[in-house]
Chains A and B, each alone.
Chain A
Amino acid sequence: MTRLVDGGLIDRSRTLSFAFDGKSFTGHPGDTLASALLANGVRLMGRSFKYHRPRGVVTAGSEEPNALVELRTGARREPNTRATTVELYDGLEAASQNRWPSLDVDVLSVNRLVSPFLGAGFYYKTFMWPAAFWEKLYEPVIRRAAGLGRAPDAPDPDTYEKATAFCDVLVIGSGAAGLAAAQAAGRSGARVILAEEDFRLGGRLLSERAVIDGGSALDFVARAEAELSSLPNVRLMPRTTVFGAYDGSEYGAVERVGDHLPAPLPFQPRQRLWRIVAKRCVLAAGAFDRPIVFPGNDRPGVMSALALATYATRYGAGAGANAAVFSTNDHAVAAALDAAEAGLKLDAIIDVRPALPDALAARAKALGVRVITEGEVVATSGKCLTSITVRTPRGSETLTVEALGVSGGATPNLNLTCHLGGKPVWREDIAAFVPGAVPPGMAVAGAAAGTFALADCLAEGTRLGASAASDAGFAASPAPAPQAEGSPTGFKPFFHVQGKGSAFVDQQNDVTAKDVALAHREGFRAVELLKRYTTLGMATDQGKTSNMAGLALMAELTGKGIPATGTTVFRPPYTPVALGVLAGHHRGIDFKPARPTPTHEWALAQGAVFVETGLWMRAAYFPKPGEKDWLESVNREVKATREAVGVIDVSTFGKIDLQGPDVGVLLDRVYINMFSTLAVGKARYGVMLREDGLVMDDGTTARLADDHYVMTTTTANAAKVYQHLEFCLQVLWPELDVCLASVSEQWAQIAVSGPRSREVLGKIVDGLDVSNAGLPFMGVAQGSVMGGVEARIFRLSFSGELGYEIAVPARHGAALMQALMAAGAPFGITPYGVEALGVMRIEKGHVSGSELNGQTCARDLGLAKMASTKKDYIGRVMAGRPAFADPDRPTLVGFKPVDRAARLRAGAHFLKVGAAATTQNDEGYMTSTAFSPTLGHFIGLGLLKRGPERMGEKVRAYDPVRGGDMEVEVCSPAFIDPQGEKQRV
């Protein structure tokens, strides 16, 4: 056990049990998985990605590249979870990854022996050929060998939410600068959101022994948190990672609502995705402790010096029985001494500089910590660290330590400043990149901006918090910034120790200093090439800790210096975001909204089988007991409709109400045919084009009064046509006096079709004359049905039979269906679904979505004669292009299989009989097919070159995808009742 005897922000009065790789341990509330493992003396936490080297934790935050574990089990198993950010809970179960058979003994660690072949670019060099080997051999082997965690193999049982928040000032990070900024902005009355990735506010202040306003840093954090909590205009969001900055001052964030619990609380999501709309933002994301590249720097026990200190001070966990620190800067030395004061047995501080500042040297002396100046760690040993070799100009020596804290200085955490394209700029005085151009409305405070001294962070946070509030329109009273003692910030830029042995630059992707040198030698020197060739910085940690070192090494090799070598730009997300939270509720049945029709419940009770058409759930067919398949049901429905009467809910058609004196003019301009001349009480079939001359949609539009029309559109295009009409009215012809309203949801519409439909209808109307004379074909009647329900009755036919569509307010839709079923019972009325609807329209040769496919003009569909020559309409000019009048264009005709028993398939291509199946010989394709129970064989509609001139000709229908190849006979697309007599009786 390496738990320190006291101290730390953990609740030692309570004990939590947890398991790692099946072994039981205990920790305390306030621990992370990483701190609890260290406190239990567990330093080996995983195996590396490529070489399967033993690895331990190297940071205490979300930048962690190494300590990735599988958290939880079963359906909740979450791979590649950083142990440093997992809040410990009772019963937590975690497992190490990428090892077999066990973490301690890993067979694939032999990869290390062949590492000369696994260097930079090994993918490109080794697995180039033969190509056929890639899928069968290389990829599966690589995938298994280089795997990280395993995804769960069962559906995620938890829920996720999405939410939007608005604020005046978003403060990201709650360290010294962030708290000061939130206080300054919050006091002005501005709506402030303070987002903190950790479960506890305070940032580095939780780990450091600083004096602020005469008290401890922890007292300052507690006071600030209490004040911010008391302000109604401030919202504190711990456990919330702002992962991206987006256009328009929007920020993406994930709140981990239930991740710190074994399972989310009832009715609580696991995580919540936030879109935060902020007028201003203060980024106070702090800095990363920069690693130093030296031989053996990936051994478990070697970690960031600030992490080593954090584990000791914040978590009361020693990273080893004893420790040393290898540093280049005062901040790390001070943090190490804080850790020693917290009880960590710190044997030595090895600093690359000739001397430490007097104050730090005196503190070290008082604590009995040996200081080795001008020292470099040149080697380490042990599976987990047992000793280090230190070289100074005075000679070298070996120190026996279990933990080594390493710090090469601070790398400002400026990731979010790059998300809109801002490029970091180099500051020589601090040897670091700082934010360049930042997203509009963002200001950067504290270490993220390269401001490292505590007093300066507090002052900068206060200043930028106040100015953000005032920019957002709030008078920020100039309150003094919290005061802190001066902290030494001396440092020496130092990145790389020369020496033998693997020195790792990117621990997550196993990129070594040698790989960088190889990339340099092979010419991949530009930083973007270096990154892609070696995969440096391309792991899930996006190189937060490794990019800087890689860049410095390349700069060393090219001799060009770091700013000239360049920097990579960070992209969202800042840390990995689970797909589940991006999906939110939109999964499974809720992937998109479902629109049930007004008769949905009724159809359900009839045993209907449903199909999604757009967002609508429609009845596909209504199987009866004893029917062996869907085709039998559909055939029965078609026959019943053609011989007696059938009924179908057609409410899904788009319905648009148009009113005003200029509706007729508008319709004349959007349809190819005339509507201004349509008589009141009549309906007409219309076709509309896009401006490029291709068909956009079709439907029936009726005139209810002089200045009142109602249009129907296809189900799929309802929204598109509505938008198009608004475009015409608002953009093209704002002078037209027309009002539009979508009434698709407001009116239920049910079609009654078949020779007996008039008799059925007659039973439910309230005294309306529905005789052939009273309500002729394409006539419209308005009145009431079922004893007082407002109704519109359109005498239309999609099936080709005598038919009516009855529209009633949607709330009466189900009642209307039941009334029709009751009235039609003596005639054997049969409900039918969209399958039978499709069969009947193909039998009639009516075009539908398969023909209105965005590639056909009116002439292709045999509708050219509808086009008026007396007016302009949308698409008219472009439809007149010569290519659209080319007689060679595939044009709509019908098809019958020569072998009447054969099945036709939509998608088959037409060829002349005997012609080779080449693109040059292609003559068109089949668009729709169905088995016609009326004719007793398959029929099809399709587009064929010069189709109408080729009636009776046999062509080849070639369908290589499904192995179809047969002769079909060209015929009229109207397979039954070509004169349309049945619908006019």
Chain B
Amino acid sequence: MRIPCPYCGARSSHEFAYLGDAAPTRPDPSAPDAAEAFHSYVYERDNPAGPMDELWYHSAGCRRWLKVTRDTRTHAITAVAFAGTGEGGR
């Protein structure tokens, strides 16, 4: 599999470390329902058959965290951007 890194260009997936679903965002730790929100943030994941936003880390390259949109059925990658800021998208 090849991942088009916004910095480095298309690179082998061997250069990357996989984290998983990019959808969960860290909840407000001071909110009254923080315990439930963190439980969901840490453990609950969708398992879609189709396009999914995922976090990949270019560990053997630029060391940027990327948000990669990958179709879980075909492994086709349709979009890549820097995670967090969303810059460098392509």
Contacts and interface: CB of A to CB of B under 8 A. Distances in A.
Interface of A: 164, 246-250, 275, 277, 420, 440, 691-692, 719, 723, 726-727, 730-732, 734, 872, 876-878, 880-881
Contact of A246 (B1, B26, B42, B65): B1
Given A723-B59, A727-B57, A731-B65, A872 B12 contact: no
Contact of A731 (B43, B76, B77, B84): B84
Contacts of B34: 877
Contacts of B26: 691, 732
Contact of B1 (A250, A692, A730, A878): A250
B38 A691 contact: yes
Interface in B57-83: 57, 59, 63-65, 74-77, 82-83
Nearest to B27: A877
B42 A727 contact: no
B2 A692 contact: no
Nearest to B3: A248
Contact of A877 (B19, B35, B43): B35
Interface string B28-39: 011000110011
Contacts, number: 64
Contacts of B17: 723
Given A692-B42, A723-B17, A723-B59, 5 more contacts: A247-B75, A727-B55, A730-B64, A877-B38, A878-B38
A880 B2 CA distance: 41
Interface in B1-55: 1-2, 12-13, 17, 19, 26, 29-30, 34-35, 38-39, 41-43, 55
7 contacts: A248-B13, A250-B1, A723-B17, A727-B19, A730-B83, A734-B84, A734-B85
Contacts of A731: 55, 65, 83-84
Contacts of A877: 29, 34-35, 38
- Give the residue among A248, A277, A726, A881 with the most B Cβ atoms within 10 A: A248
Nearest to A275: B12
A876 B32 CA distance: 14
A277 B42 CA distance: 37
Interface of B is mostly: mixed
A440 B78 CA distance: 14
A881 B55 contact: no
A726 B1 contact: no
A732 B84 contact: yes
A878 B43 CA distance: 11
A732 B63 CA distance: 15
A726 B57 contact: yes
A656 to B, nearest CB: 12
A248 B59 contact: no
A770 to B, nearest CB: 37
A115 to B, nearest CB: 45
Closest 7 pairs (CB-CB, A-B): A248-B2, A734-B84, A247-B1, A247-B75, A872-B29, A248-B1, A877-B38
A55 to B, nearest CB: 41
Given A248-B2, A249-B2, A878-B42, A719 B83 contact: no
B83 to A, nearest CB: 5
A730 B87 CA distance: 11
A875 to B, nearest CB: 9
Nearest to B55: A731
Nearest to A740: B63
B8 to A, nearest CB: 14
Given A277-B2, A726-B63, A248 B83 contact: no
Nearest to A166: B10
B42 to A, nearest CB: 5
Contacts of A880: 35
Nearest to B59: A723
Contacts of B41: 691
A277 B11 CA distance: 10
A736 to B, nearest CB: 11
Nearest to B29: A872
Nearest to A733: B84
Contacts of B19: 727
B62 to A, nearest CB: 10
Contacts of B12: 164, 250, 275, 277
A248 B26 CA distance: 32
A868 to B, nearest CB: 13
